[in-house]
Chain A
């Protein structure tokens, strides 16, 4: 019992340390590293989204790039064409993403295995084609420009919280990342989250317990798409310009790679995986076209030798050291 308590508190301490590092490093690090960290944070949010539907609910979706794109384009169109403010547009864009995910999820989640993967992939392709083709609305290959940064938030003591600088944008995105991380953690430890995990282990068995797996999967899929929508909105707001490249299904595949390398179905997996796979090419100054090769090779090695990812492997080692019968792939 004491050992468990110390383990728990050490975990909390570790998370706080990571958070403090994430807050303290960027002001020291300078512009380039901060912009890199911003992109890593946005893709970590995407990775949390994928973690919810694939890591915890066990449904591999290759269509999440579409939800990122829908969020980004909905936000961009509402602000640029309809001249809405940041916050109304933010919530409307996420609601639109969630609604579309709900509507797609109803037919798609009835299917299993390769069928579900291919329907989500097909959906991503259709969204990509429409975004590229509907030039009057989306601007086609030229992209959509002039998306606003967040409005200043008035603080009670008179000053305003402004988001003009790179650093403030980083903290803005980090705030959402932390929010989504905490939400995911609370969700996974709740009854709903436990139901999701049960579905990922054995859907038929879960159904035999009287649980409506369809509505649970739909809930997980919609929430996951809304996370992706948040990532899309943040990306659009940070980047000011969005192009059809954000909806490309290859982005969805990249996210799956990040998640599996980090460890699907763990809390730290999305962060570690995104960080490792996005930071390595930057640190080594690898040519952009080699990134695909490196990502593919790393993903292949992990899926063959360490299918539970870095965190899963770490947990196994830890479990062996402590000689306890801990579930390796359970929520960490």
Chain B
């Protein structure tokens, strides 16, 4: 998945999926093993999209903003982790917690500076604000982090686990397990806590939630903070498995967007399903057709989905202004 340049003059980004075994490797690679490897790649890539898409859909459900900056927040999270681990020699897990907290605080700042003052503005203005945020974050990243790619190296996670002819780097396993844990925690938070219930109520009916005494502006800030926090976790988990670049967030962001449209905007279950499907689609398409055009399949499926079932697989209703 490569991009022809960044928002301005940035270098093309390549999202490095760990090496897929070449078909030309000969007779010892059987078709089933190959398929299994693509499936595994798809699952681990799908987890990346799940983390981004769940944050996107949460923010969309509450604020009605497709947060274009989510991918760049993920990039910022990865860079913060990079500097904490590589420059200050911090423990990876401690850095993960700190990066998530930092992104959460950053989310609060963004919300109170941008989205709170704009709460009465027309929705189109909110999209534009999210787009401006994307440009600002990319500019900041280009200025402070530089255009050169960075390797986020944690020695023990570079080991590759092989099992039944399938190969998986340890960091990818951490991504999969981490995503599982984060999603379970998020599910628990939304379903079992009072704040989660308030979040869900606000997403379902804003005015109704207000009438029930829920402080909607506070809940909106909460949703935004959780969204940015999820982006931070995603950046920290995936950072060591890919190359860090200021434009690294754009590709996953677009796939995550397609995923939430596929699954249904505003539904977390739909986001997870869509992200999973698109991880597999991307992996299988790049394996069997061409890595260059894998994104075309993703967007093609999204556009077809919008044409025939605009509310998505698990969506509640079609968004109307």
Residues of chain B within 8 A (CB-CB) of A62 are 131
Q: Choose the segment among B16-24, B223-231, B300-308 that binds chain A (4+ C-beta atoms closer than 8 Å).
A: B300-308
Whether A132 pairs with B306 at a CB distance below 8 angstroms is no
A-B contact pairs, 6 of them (CB 8 A): A58-B124, A121-B254, A243-B4, A248-B4, A248-B5, A303-B125
The yes or no answer to A198 lying at the interface (CB within 8 A) is no
* Interface size band for B: 35 or more
Main secondary structure of the interface of B (DSSP, over half): helix
Q: Which of B132, B143, B303, B321 contacts A303 (CB 8 A)?
A: B132
Whether B8 pairs with A250 at a CB distance below 8 angstroms is yes
Known contacts A60-B128, A288-B9, A292-B139, A126 near B4 by CB under 8 Å: no
Known contacts A125-B295, A303-B125, A253 near B136 by CB under 8 Å: no
Whether B139 pairs with A300 at a CB distance below 8 angstroms is no
Nearest-neighbor residue (CB-CB) of B298 within chain A: A122
Known contacts A118-B66, A289-B139, A113 near B132 by CB under 8 Å: no
Q: Which of A115, A133, A253, A293 contacts B139 (CB 8 A)?
A: A293
The yes or no answer to B310 lying at the interface (CB within 8 A) is yes
Chain B residues at the A interface, C-beta cutoff of 8 Å = 2-10, 12, 60, 64, 66, 114, 117-118, 121, 123-125, 127-129, 131-140, 142-143, 147, 254, 257-258, 261, 265, 290, 292-293, 295-296, 299-300, 302-303, 306-307, 310, 319-321
The yes or no answer to A307 lying at the interface (CB within 8 A) is yes
Number of A-B contacts (CB under 8 A): 162
A297 to B139, CA, bound (A): 9
Nearest-neighbor residue (CB-CB) of A247 within chain B: B4
A286 to B129, CA, bound (A): 23
Whether B306 pairs with A257 at a CB distance below 8 angstroms is no
A326 to B100, CA, bound (A): 49
Whether B295 pairs with A253 at a CB distance below 8 angstroms is no
Whether A304 pairs with B123 at a CB distance below 8 angstroms is no
The yes or no answer to A161 lying at the interface (CB within 8 A) is no
Whether B4 pairs with A107 at a CB distance below 8 angstroms is no
Whether A133 pairs with B114 at a CB distance below 8 angstroms is no
Number of interface residues of A (CB under 8 A): 52
Whether B132 pairs with A122 at a CB distance below 8 angstroms is no
Residues of chain B within 8 A (CB-CB) of A230 are none
Of the listed residues A114, A244, A245, the one surrounded by the most CB atoms of chain B closer than 10 A to its CB is A114
Nearest-neighbor residue (CB-CB) of A297 within chain B: B136
Query: Closest Cβ of chain B: how far from A257's Cβ, in Å?
Result: 7
Whether B124 pairs with A289 at a CB distance below 8 angstroms is no
Residues of chain B within 8 A (CB-CB) of A125 are 254, 295, 299
The yes or no answer to A219 lying at the interface (CB within 8 A) is no
Residues of chain B within 8 A (CB-CB) of A113 are 123-124, 319-321
Whether B142 pairs with A300 at a CB distance below 8 angstroms is no
Q: Which of A117, A118, A245, A256 contacts B4 (CB 8 A)?
A: A245
Query: Closest Cβ of chain B: how far from A60's Cβ, in Å?
Result: 5
